[in-house]
Chains A and B, each alone.
Chain A
Amino acid sequence: MTHSTGETTDHKPGIEMPKPTVWPMVLALAITLIAAAAALGAWAFAVIGGLLFVVSFCGWMGALLPGRGHESEPLTHPLPTTITGRTGTVEHLQPGMTGYRFRLPEKVHPISAGLKGGVVGGIVMTFPALAWGVLSGHGLWFPVNLLAGLALPSVDDLSVPELEQFRMGLFLIGLVIHVVMSATIGLIYGVMLPTIPGAVKWQIIIGGIVLPLVWTGVSHGMMGIANPVLQHYVDWFWFAISQLIFGLAAAIVVVRSEKIAVMPAGSGTAGERA
């Protein structure tokens, strides 16, 4: 940072600043009085407010005339403390130093791996879900229509025979929910699994078994609020199977993908030494 002159010139004793004026306050008061007159039906307020409006407006405009609205502010105030440089106080993190990359891995799976995992998981988990629909006697479209209830409260009002039919609107909404959730969770897997320490098997165990079971448990607790119709009809055994198959498929796809190196740190300031 350097300093340069603003409006200040070397020939004037001070800095030109706007002159204090009462007119903005009076104009605000005038407008408020007019508003109060409208609220209360007290028209005397309107008369006073109107007069103040005219006077303050003219006064304000007068301050805009050349040479009227500004004054020279003398430079009598003390100068700020001069900022001095402190060389050698910045430390760059370098490879091999404690804290370099912190706990972030130097190689990660590409974003596409997470997406692929989500897509594959999303495809394979439909098989147990649809199988449950068929085996329970409700048909293929029952689980799809139930899923749409996550976004559409009106699904609550449909009878079981109606939920068993193909309904284009519910199908499209269910499809969007399924694709978005699968892709999102796949992306989370892509980012998260490489950060799990230990062998690859732990990534598969956590991503393929632990997380789906946690997710199923949370769903079991919350589904009554989020999607009451699904809560009412769902079979939690089949629900858990679907989640496990998703998790296993997504985790396997992610951990099998080739890792790519991340741009190393070291360009830019990491922090101050003290």
Chain B
Amino acid sequence: MKKYYLGIDLGSTTSKAIIIDEEDKIIGRGITNTRANYMVATEIARFEAIYNARFSILKMKLENEIKSNPTYEKYISDVESAFQYLQFKHKLEKLRIKFMDTIATTFSDDKREVIKKIVEGIVNTIGPEIRDAYLFSNLGSKNQFFRDIVSERYNAEIKKSESDLFDPLMLVYDKSITSVENELTEFDFKELIFQSIELMNEKYAKLDEALAANDSSIKFDTEINLLQGNYKKIYNSLKDHLEFVANMDLHITNMVGTGYGRALLPFPEKSIKSEILCHAFGAHAIFPNTRTVLDIGGQDTKAIQVDSHGLVTSFHMNDRCAAGCGRYLGYIADEFSISLNELGPLAMEAKKEVNICSTCTVFAGAEIRELLNVGEKRSDILAGLHRSIVMRAMSLLARSGGVKNEFTFTGGVARNQAVLKYVSELVYKNYGNDITINIGTDSIFMGALGGAMFARRSMTN
């Protein structure tokens, strides 16, 4: 039996799970936001990684067939999207019930019915919207969390309602989301995958119809063109393989936990590793020439120096001040009433960077309002804020011994384009243009990857 290894990174803001095979190859990724309950977050991330691993194993198994027949890959990805949607749908259904509960217990008789009607309307509107985003725009691959996916659209919808209902509608959402988010559901992979296939078949059938009717509202890319009219045949040839991965025993031989909540994991002591070591090890595995790692996480920033084997030689942490961490951006997003995902793109539109003087997260809020009052543009202020968080990270880097070629940037904040821009700019400025800067697509998973790699090594040692 093949052996697999699991790494769990229980961060202050997000929980990540990575599954690797015997060659350290990542085959499964899972991520969720860590809210009140660490244990549930771990399990959600772990289940997600295991589901994802089954899909990866399927693709690896069919590697040769996929080469000669690219439609297979598209088909499998589509099934995975549908699979993710079905999980989402299950949660949304729970949220609808919770919304109704909250409304019933929160509001007086006269308001209750009005709010109930609006909320039902919102759920009925956003449900299909999100469904299409999963099935046609690959929303599932964007690592967005249930809370963010729903809140973005829920907020947009309530803005359309009468203004005096804004607060009660927000209240319904705030009171309901956490408990649903923290509810753990383990799905039967096999059952769900065949439901996903049915869903895909519907989608493709629709495509066929749309094509026949010359409906231009649905976009066709080349792969879908290939699939069109062909999906039943593909399904027949993949059926046994799908069956196989659904039934296979995905045996996790060993696991290692890391991150801030690691002490809470029900793992033996030797299976709990410091996040410093895990982040460095993970980053070094992806970029083997890395000598300096900067990790900006939710509630701390780490500057780590590693040797040629990925072993940490020294590190420096900021765990005192929020103004250098991801949470700062979260706070700023709240101040601007936008979602975290919108921050970076808006900052990238800046024409200049407004100088931010406040060294404190909390006071930055007051400074932002001042700057808006004197007419500075939102995007320019945001650019300044992004620059200031990176400046803090630079000072930590300097304290840790500076940047040695190569430099790898990891952590949740590495997904923010504006942060990336300033990190690159300032690293080049301070340490020369010869520095190689690495930012991987899996940067948020480095800690979990390092954990999984340690899990494999402790079994083979």
Are A and B subunits of one complex? no
Q: Which residues of A contact B (CB under 8 A)?
A: none
Q: Which residues of B contact A (CB under 8 A)?
A: none
